[in-house]
Amino acid sequence: MGRWETFSPCAGHKEPTQVSAKITPLYELHKELGGNLVDFAGYLMPLRYGSETAEHHAVRTSAGIFDISHMGEIFVTGAQAAEALDHALVGLASALEAGRARYTMIVNSEGGVLDDLIVYRLSRHGFMVVANAANAGVVAEELKKRAEGFEAAVDDQSENYALIAVQGPRAQAVLERLTDADLAGLKYYTLISGTVGGVVSFIARTGYTGEDGFELFIHSEDAVTLWKKITEAGDGELTPCGLSARDTLRLEAGMPLYGHELTADLTPYDAGLGRVVRLEKDFVGRDALAAVAESGPSRRLVGLVARGRRVPRAGYAVIGDDGSPCGVVTSGAPSPTLGKPIAMAYVGIGSTPVAVDIRGKQEPVDVVDLPFYRRTDK
C-alpha cells in the first residue's frame, strides 16, 4: 500500500485556486525545499521539488525520501481484535504473527473495493490498519460498524501520526547510520519498534515504489526532526521526492492506485488480486466475491506499452483487434526507466488490445505482463 488514491499526478492536474486542504507536519519544510505543493486527497502535498524524472531515477538507483503523512493509521485493539478484522476485511488478520504485515482490502456487501490496506499486527491483541488518505474516514467508520459485537475497539489516530518513506537500493545503508535496529534482518512486510535518529518509530519494510525500502511511523511532532536527520545522513545519496515520482514508480511496479485500478465498482478479482481474498472464512462481502470467483470476472487488468511517444492517459479508450473499443486505460505515464509510455488498463475477457485512442488517433500498443519493472536483487 501503500498506495495512493483518487488523484494521479501523471494524468495532469490544475493548481487549486482556493486552499482548503489539510497540511502534514512537514508542510513548512516542503515550502523551504521549494516543493510544488498541490491538493492531493485533501492534503497539500509536494508534487515535485525539481525534476520528477530525476527524483524517479534517484529511487531506482540510490534512495529517495517521501512524506506520506496523509495516510491513515487506525488502531484495532482488544481480546477479539483479530476476529473483528477477519470479519471486516477480505484477508485473514488472525493468521498474522506479531511484527508481520499483510496487504488486504475492505469491500462492500457487493464485493466492491472500498480501499486497499496494509494491516500490521503489533501484539497479540493489537493491530494497525493503514488506509489511503481519501478513504481513511470511511475505513475507520466501517471498521467501527463491523467491530460491533466483538470485544474490540477502533481508534483512528491518523492526526497524531506522521509517515516518512525511505525507498531505494541505498535506503537501508542510509537508515543504518541512524539506528541500531537490525534492518538487515527485517524481512519484507515486517515491522519492529525502534529509534531512528533518536526518534521512537515503528520501522516497517514496506513501500510503494517497487524498490527495497522502509516506512517510518512516528508521532507528528517528531516529523521535522526525523526528516532532517535522515536527509543529513543521506547526503549525496538521498533525494526528496514528490507525488509525481511516486506515481511513475508505482506504475512501473504494476501497483494499483485507488480510484484508478481499484474502485467500489471493481472487485479484487477484476484487479487480478483474488489471491488476497480468503473465502474459507465469513466476512462482509464474502458471498458476492464467492460468486465472482466461481463465474470469473468480466474484465482483466493488463499492461500496455506504447510503440510511439504519445502517452495513453487514464480514461482513454482501448481498441481491440476488431477496431472497436474493448476497455479503458486506468493509469498511464511516460516510464523513465523503460524510456517508453506505459499504461494499465481494464479490457474485456477474450479481447485483444492493439491500440489506444489518443485524442482521436489510434496509437498502437503492445500488451505485456505486469509489472513493467522488477528489481533484480529480489
Among residues 35, 60, 47, the alpha carbon closest in space to that of 7 is found at: 47
CATH number of the domain at 298-378, please?
A: 2.40.30.110
> 154-171: per-residue pLDDT in tens?
999 999 999 999 999 999
Does pLDDT of 12 surpass 90? Answer: no
Relative to beta strand 199-204, strand 63-67 is unpaired
Reported confidence tier of residue 10, pLDDT bands at 50, 70, 90? very low
CA distance 157 to 334: 37
Question: At CA 143, angle to CA 110 and CA 75, rounded to 5?
Answer: 145
* Top CATH class, 9-69+160-252: alpha beta
> 46-104: per-residue pLDDT in tens?
999 999 999 999 999 999 999 999 999 999 999 999 999 999 999 999 999 999 999 99
The tally of CA atoms less than 13 A away on the side-chain side of residue 111 is: 21
> 171-215: per-residue pLDDT in tens?
999 999 999 999 999 999 999 999 999 999 999 999 999 999 999
At 11 the pLDDT is: 41
Cis amide linkage into residue 371, ω under 30° from 0: yes
Contact 213, 207 (CB under 8 A): yes
DSSP string, 79-138: TTHHHHHHHHSSS-GGGPPTTBEEEEEEE-TTS-EEEEEEEEEEETTEEEEEE-GGGHHH
338: its cell numbers: 523503460
Relative to beta strand 63-67, strand 238-240 is parallel
Q: Give the distance, in angstroms, between the CA of residue 103 and the centroid of all CA atoms in the same chain.
A: 10
Specify the domain boundaries for CATH 3.30.1360.120 within the chain: 9-69+160-252
CB atoms inside a 10 Å sphere around CB 198 = 12
CA distance 144 to 87: 12
Specify the domain boundaries for CATH 2.40.30.110 within the chain: 298-378
The tally of CA atoms less than 13 A away on the side-chain side of residue 318 is: 30
Q: Nearest 10 degrees: CA dihedral of 101, 106, 111, 113?
A: -100
> 150-163 burial by CB neighbour count: b if 16+ within 10 A, else e?
bebebebebeebbb
> 352-364: per-residue pLDDT in tens?
999 999 999 999 9
Residue type, 98: A
CB atoms inside a 10 Å sphere around CB 21 = 17
